[in-house]
Amino acid sequence: MDFGKFDDEDYPALTMGQAAELLGVQPAFLRSLDAADVMSPVRSTAGHRRYSRRQLRLASRIRELFDDGLTLDPAHRIVLLEDQLDAARMRIDELQRDLAGVTRERRAASDMEKQHGAARR
């Protein structure tokens, strides 16, 4: 049995009712996010909205910002900026790992060059 879909955070596994219940919101809240193009749930063949875990995290964060007094546009902007910041941090981590690898290789090459030079004397 393939459980890959269960691990896929983008798989639209939840109905609107399930998503609303998990988030503790009314379905109208999720519809409003769809209408505002904040997130676009997948539609089933019957036309029903289906939500992924990633979309639930987005809706949950926006709900937190609503609870803090923000309206939809600023809340959406904050979420987008948080996502960009997370992506930038991941890229920085990746570049730091690459730099560390290059530094190790450079040191190893330098050590080999020193050993080779010492052997010639």
pLDDT at 118: 65
Domain 9-120 belongs in CATH node 1.10.1660.10: yes
Both tokens of 118, joined, read: 């010492």
The model's pTM: 0.72
pLDDT at 1 over 60: no
pLDDT at 120 over 80: no
pLDDT at 6 over 80: no
Model confidence band, residue 111 (pLDDT cutoffs 50, 70, 90) = confident
Q: Where are the alpha helices (DSSP H) in the chain?
A: 4-7, 16-23, 27-35, 53-67, 72-120
pLDDT at 83 over 60: yes
Mean pLDDT of the chain: 91
Chain center to CA of 55: 10
